[in-house]
A and B are shown apart, each in its own frame.
Chain A
Amino acid sequence: MAVSNQPTSPLQPSEPLLAGAAVGSRAQLAGRVVGKGRWAGAWLQSPRLVVGLLLLMVFVVTGIVGPLVVVHPNAFVGPLLAPPSSHFLLGTTQTGQAVLAQLVVSTGGSLEVGFAAGAIATCVSILVGVGGGFLGGRLDEVLALFTNVVLVIPALPLIIIIAAYVHTGGEGAVILVIALTSWAAAARVLRSQTLSVRNRDYVLAARVSGERSWRIVLVEILPNELAVVVSQFIFTVIFAVLTQAGLAFLGLASTNSLTWGTMLYYAENDQALSAGAWWWFVPPGLCIALLGTSLALVNFGLDEVLNPRLRVRGRGGFWSQRLERRERRP
């Protein structure tokens, strides 16, 4: 993908991505170059990426198709606080609704907030990070300072206070608040990336040949940062899903749409804990954690596939591991 398009040799180490691990010795690196033809199949060779994508697919499909399959999440289906059984796979709530139906419908709500907030935050971070890094000068200094400040001011208290002040509780407002407090980390990474790409030969060549600034950014710089943008986007989605869950758990998010956080809010308010109704509060949290894990796995996996230095590592068979170890510790 992005990195392979670079007009440099495939062995040219791309900028260290987030996980930033490197291989043991140079000798191995040279010995196991993966040819260009294998790029297509490369993603299959990262088990992390495959598992992560599969898990993510399950959530996305559930979010889209699920609501058509299950009963209405607020429909009264029978016994109150019934434990899981063949009839109610995940039991029922205090007010006699099926937990499974709520869980399935919540999937869409949580994903929506996560991806919408992630997309907005990524756009802001590209504007601030790439824009500042590319233009440089005073503007860049101010933007970088601003980014770093936003990064250290704790986000959740701020989000809680804004949500409490605004009082509207609409889904759009929640998305916006989360997006506007979570772009800074990505902007910082993108800025440093842009600073290093900005002075590479092909960018200078484009500049000399009279390309316009916006075209250089869109055609020369951004495509080369696609890997970083995607990985930052994924991180922001995880953050947004977690934050929304927290807000909803406190009763500060929209109560119109059902999300995993809203489920936990009702479970907590209806004393699910002391009633021992684990089937009510365990599944939503587990789903949040699994979604987060799947996204993180996709991130690590993409890193492995796109970053040649990481790619060599982790796929060695039994013997190459032995060799590697022997080489390291004589």
Chain B
Amino acid sequence: MRYFLRKFGFYAVAAWMALTLNFFLPRLIPGNPVEILLAKMSQSGPTPPGEAKALSAMLGLGHGNIVVQYVDYLGALAQGKLGISVTNFPEPVVNILASTLPWTIVLVGVSTVLSFVIGIGLGALAGWRRRGLVDALIPTTTFLTALPYFWLALLLLYLLAVVIRVFPLDGGYSPNNLPGLNLGFLASAVYHSVLPALTIVISSVGGWLLGMRNMTVTTLAEDYVVAAEAKGLSPRRILVRYAARNAVLPSFTGFAISLGFVVSGSILMEYVFSYPGIGFELLQAVQNDDYPLMQGIFLVISFAVLGANLITDLVYGFVDPRTRQET
């Protein structure tokens, strides 16, 4: 129980720090961001009354001293007031987040799990047959991990959409199939997500593979594996039930750090594919100096990553009882 409380405490602190960081960030903007934003908005149409106040609260730049501003800012966030987007005026930021986040979560989620499973499987094999063919993968995976996500995306796009026209050039679905729960749209979405998913899997599988291989090699030297061998258990059973099961644990802890990398990489990847996810939206916001949208997206990405990490930690606590005893 203590383990879980500590984890909750840690992520509460992390979330609070993300919020506070987000509060201080707009101070880096030269000039008066609220005025700049209002001027921009008024070009696109009438701004709703009270928007100036909401904006300054949300950016943490309202009246009063910094403590008052901070309280106002937290209050605005607590009510879910993230302001209005300049890029998609007058759409509230919350709506934009709600429509783009699912794309990223499904894409990044599915491809991360795929990459994890493939990497762990191959890694265990590579550790088991150390000088076999699978182990020749190691230098290759080192190279793959060093590949920049966006460049790999460019390369895949060039090879599989320009040279050989197998996959679509950009977007998340075909314009003929509007989003909805029908087969045509789902098929089109899956078809459009193949290249983006491939990018993530290729560039992240190496890390899992390498870590799992090294842990398998270490675990195979443990006494309980030798005991299992002495009992005459089949090699397959030893690998799966004795070695791999224990070797996979550190990979779970590595999940936290790697998830941040995957999410970061997917921002650039979405940009290359013009994929309608939150990363692409962030870059559009950057190009239009859309401060409220940028603030909102940073918060959502941070919270999503923190949430995923919390879940991993909780699962890890169930899987490995030893972590719960650690003080």
Contact = CB atoms under 8 A, between A and B. Distances in A.
Interface of A: 19-25, 145, 148-149, 151-158, 160-162, 164-167, 185, 238, 242, 245-246, 249-250, 252, 264, 268, 273-274, 276, 278, 281-282, 284-285, 288-293, 295-297, 300, 321, 328-330
Q: Which 8 A-B pairs have the closest CB atoms?
A: A292-B146, A285-B151, A156-B264, A21-B214, A165-B28, A154-B260, A164-B286, A149-B14
Contacts of A328: 220, 229
A190 to B, nearest CB: 15
Contacts of A284: 151
A328 B221 CA distance: 9
A167 B30 contact: yes
A300 B21 CA distance: 36
Nearest to A274: B162
Given A21-B218, A288-B148, A155 B14 contact: no
A78 to B, nearest CB: 24
A246 B142 contact: no
B294 interface: yes
A278 B143 CA distance: 20
B205 to A, nearest CB: 15
Contacts of A23: 221
Contact of B146 (A145, A293, A329): A293
Given A23-B221, A250-B271, A154 B263 contact: yes
A145 B10 contact: yes
Contacts of B17: 149, 153
A318 B268 CA distance: 45
Interface string B133-144: 000000000110
A243 B187 CA distance: 34
A289 B154 contact: no
A328 B28 CA distance: 60
14 contacts: A21-B214, A151-B256, A153-B305, A154-B260, A155-B260, A161-B295, A161-B298, A165-B25, A165-B26, A242-B148, A250-B268, A268-B154, A291-B146, A293-B146
B158 A149 contact: no
Contact of B142 (A252, A274, A296): A296
Contacts of B264: 154-157, 246
Given A20-B218, A284-B151, 10 more contacts: A149-B17, A152-B306, A153-B306, A154-B305, A155-B264, A157-B298, A161-B25, A161-B286, A264-B150, A264-B151
A245 B150 CA distance: 9
B148 A152 contact: no
B14 A285 contact: no
Contacts of A155: 260, 264
B97 to A, nearest CB: 13
Nearest to B271: A250
Nearest to A297: B142
A23 to B, nearest CB: 7
Contacts of A164: 286, 289, 294
B221 A246 contact: no
Interface in B296-327: 297-298, 301-302, 305-306, 309
Given A22-B221, A250-B286, A285-B154, A273 B298 contact: no
Contacts of B291: 165
Contact of A160 (B131, B215, B235, B282): B282
Contacts of A238: 146
Interface in B253-278: 256-257, 260, 263-265, 267-268, 271-272
B147 interface: yes
A245 B265 CA distance: 12
Contacts of A285: 147-148, 151-152, 154-155
Nearest to A284: B151
Interface string B143-182: 1011111111011011000110000000000000000000
B154 A273 contact: yes
B165 to A, nearest CB: 12
B146 A282 contact: no
Contacts of A154: 260, 263-264, 301-302, 305
Contacts of B189: none
A136 to B, nearest CB: 15
A19 B302 CA distance: 28
Nearest to B291: A165
B5 interface: no
A165 B29 contact: yes
Interface string B281-296: 0110010010100110
Contacts of A185: 257
A201 B220 CA distance: 32
B146 A249 contact: no
B61 interface: no
B54 interface: no
B86 interface: no
